[in-house]
Amino acid sequence: MAKNFKVGEMFKSGILTNNPVLVQTLGMCPTLATTSSVENGLGMGVSAMVVLIASNVVISLLRRVIPKKIRIAAYIVIIAGFVTMIDLLLKAYVPALSKSLGLFIPLIVVNCIILGRAEAYASKKTVGASFFDGLTMGLGFTFALFIIATVREIFGSGTFLGHEVFGPAFEPASIIGMAPGGFLVLGIIVAVIQIIQRKKKEKKEGNA
Amino acid sequence: MLTSLFSIALGAVLVENFIFNKFLGICPFLGVSKKVETASGMGMAVTFTMTIASAITWLIQHFILDRFGLGFMQTVVFILVIASLVQFIEMALQKMMPALYSSLGIYLPLITTNCAVLGVALLNIQNDYNFIQSIVYGFTAAIGFTLAIVLFASVRERLEYSDIPKSFEGLPIALVSASLMAIAFMGFSGLKVI
């Protein structure tokens, strides 16, 4: 198989320049709902990544078999199958995490990142490339969730992965951990990214 | 009976609003909320689908999945039912109510991947609602969604003309406004029918 894709570039694109959450703003529901603690955010990120890799590989394998007209339905069934597996695995091995993520595990099915990658990438590219696409996009999703969850957990409850950060004198702003804080933190992070993007663009134009 | 329905409705519209409390249906909430007109169109399409989806998924869960011990197939079956239901609604509207179709048509395909619809179907089962309660919950949760998206669209229409810091233009300022609205909706917590 000829290598028609660059792994290093894909990592950079998936995690930074084309981050599915922070730049493309896809998959907002789980992003906001599961980032009140780092543990939940990472759990969600990794679960979605596993589903994304598996569905990308299977869809890429079947890309010549699936008829064009019913492709979306076929993708949804494949994705839903993997989501069910993850759901049952989490219930069996990490019941606490499964309970705190709750509804959002079955809702991975309707995560637009996964269907989006299936339609835009896996249905056209080779198996290897689709695997790396799933891996890098999944890592990007996990990375974004990790950042948001870190900010929210540190300011919202004064802890990081359950360990206290500032000592007992710190009065946590619990609103950051609640629903409004999710919107606020995500808004500020996206704004910071827009500043960085603009600076980069200005620099490029300055050089030219 | 009536009080329980009323308390479900009150909870779904205000106290546990799908957008501001449960984070369900955020994608259309951010995506199609630039104008009040499109927002209310989306709200109507979601209301229509969520009510019917609640009824049908409840029937499937209780008469097919539970009866044959197929509970683990829930996710797969529900999403397929919702996807085909959306297709069916689209075709039916096109045939029977072309006027409504031309205003809702473009939003319908988007609804398949709206997590609010699958979410409400799963919540109905999780909360052990009966058939009537499920329908009421589906309908009122969608009303809550419509309320949120229409209010948010009117805020965003104003934002178009206001002077905002450059880095906050677009999505960030929308998210910050949503955050403020969520704080307002927190004021409803504790509202209960005894």
CB contact under 8 A, A112 and B113: yes
User: What are the tokens at A16?
Assistant: 């930074």
**CA distance linking residue B25 with residue A26, whole number of Å:** 12
> pLDDT tens digits for B1-48?
788 888 888 888 888 888 888 888 888 888 888 888 888 888 888 898
Mean pLDDT, to the nearest integer, of B179-188?
90
Find how far residue A58's CA is from the centre of its chain: 19
CB B80 within 8 A of CB A73: yes
CB contact under 8 A, B26 and A194: no
Any idea where the domains of chain A sit in the sequence? 7-207
The beta-carbon neighbor of B26 closest among A29, A80, A187 is A29
Burial annotation B52-69 (CB, 10 A radius, 16+ → b, else e):
bbbbbbbebbeeebeeee
> pLDDT tens digits for B49-95?
899 999 999 999 999 998 888 888 888 999 888 888 888 888 888 88
Find how far residue A204's CA is from the centre of its chain: 29
**pLDDT at residue number B56:** 94
CB B181 within 8 A of CB B154: no
Q: Name, in order, each residue with C-beta under 8 angstroms of A141's C-beta and a sequence gap of 6 or more.
A: A20, A21, A27, A45, A48, A49, A52, A113
What is the nearest CA distance from B155 to chain A, expressed in angstroms? 15
> pLDDT tens digits for A45-102?
999 999 999 999 999 999 889 888 888 888 989 999 999 999 999 999 999 999 888 8
What is the nearest CA distance from B108 to chain A, expressed in angstroms? 15
Closest CA to B139 of B26, B19, B54, B33: B54
Q: What residues in chain A have their Cβ under 8 A from chain B's Cβ atoms? A: 25-29, 32-33, 72-73, 76-77, 80-81, 83-84, 87-88, 103, 106-107, 109-112, 115, 175, 178-184, 186-188, 190-192, 194-195, 198
Show residues of chain B in contact with A186, CB under 8 Å.
175
> Is the pLDDT assigned to residue A2 strictly greater than 50?
no
Q: How many helices (H) and strands (E) does chain B have?
A: 9, 0
Count of beta carbons in the 10 Å neighbourhood of residue A192: 13
Q: Name, in order, each residue with C-beta under 8 angstroms of B111's C-beta and a sequence gap of 6 or more.
A: B28, B45, B46, B49, B86, B117
The beta-carbon neighbor of A184 closest among B75, B79, B179 is B179
CB contact under 8 A, A29 and B25: yes
This prediction's pTM: 0.88
Rg (CA), chain B: 18
**CA distance linking residue A88 with residue A108, whole number of Å:** 13
User: What are the tokens at A90?
Assistant: 């989490």
What is the nearest CA distance from A43 to chain B, expressed in angstroms? 17
Confidence of residue A4 (pLDDT cuts 50, 70, 90): low
**CA distance linking residue A9 with residue A50, whole number of Å:** 21
The beta-carbon neighbor of B182 closest among A81, A180, A194 is A180
> Is the pLDDT assigned to residue A39 strictly greater than 50?
yes
